[in-house]
Amino acid sequence: MSTTRRKRGLGSARLPRPRTVARDRGATVIETAIVFPVVVIAVLAAIQAGFYFLARATAINAAQAGVNAERAYGAPAGAGRSRAIEFLAQSPGWLRDTEVTVTRDANFASVTVTGTFKSVLPWTRWTISHTAHGPLEQFQ
């Protein structure tokens, strides 16, 4: 009688299964219950940071566009305000409830753009403000 032996390949080797201890049952559920809120808060914080940086970039660019228009040679007073409002109207709406303030004296102009931006939490309101300054262009 001949006996044939089966050769074991690498894929057929069995690893010993770890023994589960009775007191470890349910540990995964508890770990998930602890970690899940932290992960959700981290994701919401990342989204809120994105909203902040998009609104900040919009405010910076609107103020810069306004001050460039206001300080141009021969520009009438108020040109910066209308340019900043035009910029905000063309922006995708990251900055809401905006207010544009222009200050101009004999040598300098400044434009301040203030507004609110979207929030992940519905009962919070975030405000952002940015001011751009520049000297008036003068023929000397």
Among the residue ranges 14-23, 62-71, 104-113, 115-124, the one predicted with the least confidence is 14-23
| The pLDDT of residue 19 | 66
CB 127 within 8 A of CB 115: yes
- Using the CB atoms, write b or e for 77-91: b if 16+ within 10 Å: eebbbebbbebbeeb
| The pLDDT of residue 27 | 76
Mean per-residue pLDDT of the chain: 86
DSSP state of 21: P
| The pLDDT of residue 120 | 87
Q: Over the stretch 45-93, which tens digit does the pLDDT of each residue have?
A: 999 999 999 999 999 999 999 999 999 998 888 899 999 999 999 998 8
Please tell me the number of Cα atoms within 13 Å of 54 on its side-chain side.
15
Percent of the chain with pLDDT over 70: 84
| The pLDDT of residue 5 | 59
Is the pLDDT reported for residue 126 higher than 70?
Answer: yes
Predicted TM-score of the model (pTM): 0.73
| The pLDDT of residue 9 | 56
> 3 is written with which tokens?
């006996």
Beta bridge partners of 128: 115
Mean predicted confidence (pLDDT) in 28-51: 90
CB 115 within 8 A of CB 96: yes
| The pLDDT of residue 117 | 92
